Amino acid sequence: MSVLAPRAQSVKSKHTQVEIYSMSPDISSEQAVRGAIQTHSKRVWRFGLALSGASDVADDLLQSTCLRALERHHQVTSYDRLDSWLMTICRSIWLNEVRARSVRKAQALSVTPEAELVATGPDSETNIFAAEVFTQVMELPEAQRETVMLVFVEGYSYREAAALLEVPIGTIMSRLSNARQKLKNVMQHDAADTVRRSGK
Amino acid sequence: MKFSDETLRAYLEGNADAAEAAAIEAAIETDLALEQRLMTLDPLAPVVQSVFENIPADAPQLELPQPMQVSTADASGGLWRLMAVAASVAVVAVSATFWATRPEPMGWAEQAAIYQSLYSPDTIESLDSSPVALDAQFARAEAQLGRSLNRDTLETLPGLELKRAQVLSFKGKPLIQVVFADDQGQPLAFCVIRQGEGAPAKDVKLAAISGVATATWAQDGYGYMLIGSSEQTDLDQQLNILTTTFAG
């Protein structure tokens, strides 16, 4: 066996206790992290977009997140939820290193959500509706937006989102309630459209 | 407690009464099955998901360092080891560069100066500076800040006309920006941030940030900043008055 092949191991360091137990002996933590990056790059990018409201910042956040994750692959404790680990890194980079700059820029220049990101299909009414939903979600306050993205789009449970965002589950629920209230109008509008189109 | 689908739907639509909503939210804490049901019944989730799931349309571009692990099967001899070492050096170099060039988090004063530097005479020309508007702005600002802004002093600063007091926020701390016009209509600002008890006092420091002259100081849990309209703005006269007025 090569000395270069890391094996399942348990390492205790001063700051972090790292225990790798559920891993296949043939997969290194670095390979696992690389795999997770490939698999989840779209969702991390999307989360970056939800946090920042700007696709160029989302690009940067994704790139920084992946580099940071690779630096820290040895901290991985379980291969089960590398996606939420990546999301956590992304959010931490956003909060600690990028947010202040970007928010200031957005306030000063009144950046509007980038509705052109919504894919255009053949049905123009559907497109208009999708763009409207997109805009409404992106105009939610940041805390609601990140919660909506994790729960509604990425399918995290309330408690998973609570753990990821480090807030009580009740906070997740009230953020979602508030978001629902704000998104209600566009939904009702859609329901009316659907009824009209189906001729009822 | 058992909740019917009808009750859960009413909750999701914002139509449950407060007691029911509170009961559901309390039960969710421990009831995994209830959480699942609620998520399944949510009418909004699939709509939002369908809009966002194809964003971005293509896999985002990534530049990752080369893997530092090599295949274990036929790794033998010094060559593999050499390559692995070279690769890990590359990873460390990339990481170190990334680390070294990561943006330093900016302080409030720097950000306020950058924000202010985007102001032009046109920005402040159209501001509503009526006494009624200023009354409301100062009431709001002073409530946020938890101290007086000494409006009398601000209104009588030599050569400056008071235009607006605006509540901003920096890392959760209230940051008040008071904007003035000089006799050429150029924008200047005086900013106050509540830093909290125990924040260190700082003597007046002059600096040009983002093309504007600034003076900052801190005392008794508040930070202060006077911002000119250009690097050449002479802040002395106003600074003397403000440092005396806002000495604590």
B95 to chain A: which residues are within 8 Å by CB? 67, 70-71
Question: Is the CB of residue B147 less than 8 Å from the CB of residue B221?
Answer: no
The DSSP string of B51-92 is HHTT-SSSPPP---PPPS---STT--HHHHHHHHHHHHHHHH
CA distances from B41 to A3, A8, A59, B103, B162 (A): 53, 42, 34, 43, 54
Chain A and chain B share a number of CB contacts under 8 A equal to 146
pLDDT of residue B248: 55
CB crowding A135-151: b at 16 or more within 10 Å, else e: bbbbebeeebbbbbbbb
Indicate yes or no: CB of A31 within 8 angstroms of CB of B76: no
Phi, psi for A100 (deg, rounded to 5) = -55, -45
Q: Which residue of B has its CA nearest to A61?
A: B62
pLDDT tens over chain A, length 200 residues: 333 333 333 333 333 333 333 444 446 888 889 989 988 999 999 999 999 888 888 999 999 999 999 998 888 877 778 999 999 999 999 998 887 777 666 554 444 556 667 766 667 777 788 888 898 999 999 999 999 999 999 999 999 999 999 999 999 999 999 999 999 877 776 555 555 555 44
A189 touches chain B (CB under 8 A): no
| Structure tokens given for A164 | 């990821």
From A79's Cα to the closest Cα of chain B, the distance in A is 18
What are φ and ψ of residue A177, in 5° steps? -60, -45
Percent of chain B with pLDDT over 70: 85
Is A70:A33 a contact under the CB 8 Å cutoff? yes
Residue B48 confidence class, pLDDT cut points 50, 70, 90: very high
Chain B residues touching residue A169 (CB < 8 angstroms): 28-29
Q: Chain B: residue nearest A151 by CA?
A: B45
Cβ contacts (< 8 Å) between A67 and chain B: which residues? 64-65, 94-95, 98
- H-helix or E-strand spanning residue B123: helix B121-125
- Triad A81, A158, A119: Cα angle to 5°: 75
Contacts with A32 from chain B: Cβ below 8 Å: none
> Are A184 and B14 an interchain contact pair (Cβ–Cβ within 8 Å)?
yes
What residue in A sits closest to B54 (Cα-Cα)?
A: A119
The distance of B244 to chain A (nearest Cα, Å) reads 30
User: Tokens representing B177?
Assistant: 């920006």
User: What is the CATH number assigned to the segment(s) A8-111?
Assistant: 1.10.1740.10
Per the DSSP assignment, residues forming a β-bridge with B168 are B175
Q: How far is CA A141 from the centre of its chain?
A: 15
* Residue of A135, A168, A161 lying closest to A146 (CA atoms): A161
**Min CA distance, A110 vs chain B (Å)?**
12
pLDDT for B169? 85
A186 touches chain B (CB under 8 A): no
Instruction: Give the three-state DSSP class for B44.
Output: helix
Closest residue to A187, CB basis, from B44, B57, B69: B44
Query: What is residue B231's three-state secondary structure?
Result: coil
Peptide bond into B56 cis (omega under 30): yes
Query: Are A8-111 and A114-200 equal in CATH topology?
Result: no
Domain boundaries of chain A, sorted by first residue: 8-111, 114-200
CATH topology of domain A114-200: Arc Repressor Mutant, subunit A (1.10.10)
Going from the C-alpha of A161 to that of each of A75, B72, B174, B212, the distances in angstroms are 21, 38, 28, 43
AA identity, residue B110: E
Residue whose C-alpha is closest to residue B211's, from B237, B232, B181? B232
Cross-chain residue pair A177–B29, CB shorter than 8 Å: no
Which one of 1.20.1090.10, 3.40.50.620, 3.90.870.10, 3.30.200.100 gives the CATH number of domain B108-245? 3.30.200.100
In sequence order, the β-bridge partners of residue B208 are: B213
Does A70 contact B at CB distance below 8 Å? yes
Instruction: Check residue B68 and give its pLDDT.
Output: 60
Residues B165-219 pLDDT 10s: 998 888 888 899 999 999 999 999 999 999 888 888 888 888 888 889 999 999 8
Q: Please give the structure tokens belonging to residue B38.
A: 């609620």
The pTM is what? 0.53
Could A37 and B62 be called an inter-chain contact, meaning their C-beta atoms sit closer than 8 Å?
yes
d(CA B181, CA B195): 27
Cβ <8 Å between A4 and B55:
no
Distance CA A81, CA B34 (A): 23
How far apart, in whole angstroms, are the C-alpha atoms of residue B229 and residue B238?
Answer: 13
Q: Does B14 touch chain A (CB under 8 A)?
A: yes
Helices (H), chain A: 29-52, 55-71, 82-93, 99-109, 124-138, 142-148, 158-165, 169-197
Report yes or no: B57 at the A interface, CB cutoff 8 Å.
yes
Looking at the predicted structure, is the pLDDT value of residue B121 above 60? yes
Whether the CA torsion A56, A61, A67, A70 is positive or negative: it is negative
Assigned token pair, A178: 């508030």
Domains of chain B: which residue ranges? 5-52, 65-102, 108-245
CA of B105 vs chain A CAs: smallest distance (Å): 6
